[in-house]
């Protein structure tokens, strides 16, 4: 079985997300294929990210839970003026 590169799987996720964002009305005929391909691509990406986290934890002599905050997407936070600020 051929191994799907992370870049290809991530590209699938980006392409499907853009397709769904641009639709004025959902195309139900294509939705099952989009969902199936997206789930498969997500699994590839998740597997690679988990492997990198594990390798980094081993290389740094820490646990994976110490590495996780680096990879987690932090939502935008509201500042005192109710303006969105960057998450860092």
pTM recorded for the entire structure: 0.66
Per the CB < 8 A criterion, the answer to whether 13 and 38 are in contact is yes
pLDDT of residue 1: 66
| Planar angle of CA 18, 69, 14, nearest 5 degrees | 10
Task: Tell me the pLDDT tens digit for each residue of 17-66.
Answer: 999 999 888 888 899 999 999 999 999 999 999 999 899 888 888 766 66
Place of tokens 């397709």: 19
Domain boundaries in the chain? 30-73
| Planar angle of CA 75, 80, 84, nearest 5 degrees | 35
């Amino acid at each position: 079985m051929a191994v799907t590169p992370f870049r290809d799987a991530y590209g699938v996720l980006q392409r499907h997300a853009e397709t769904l964002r641009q639709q004025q009305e959902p195309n139900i005929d294509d939705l099952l294929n989009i969902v199936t391909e997206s789930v498969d691509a997500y699994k590839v990406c998740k597997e690679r990210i988990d492997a990198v986290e594990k390798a980094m934890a081993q290389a740094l002599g820490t646990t994976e839970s110490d590495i996780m905050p680096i990879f987690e997407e932090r939502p935008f936070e509201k500042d005192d003026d109710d303006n969105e600020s960057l998450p860092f």
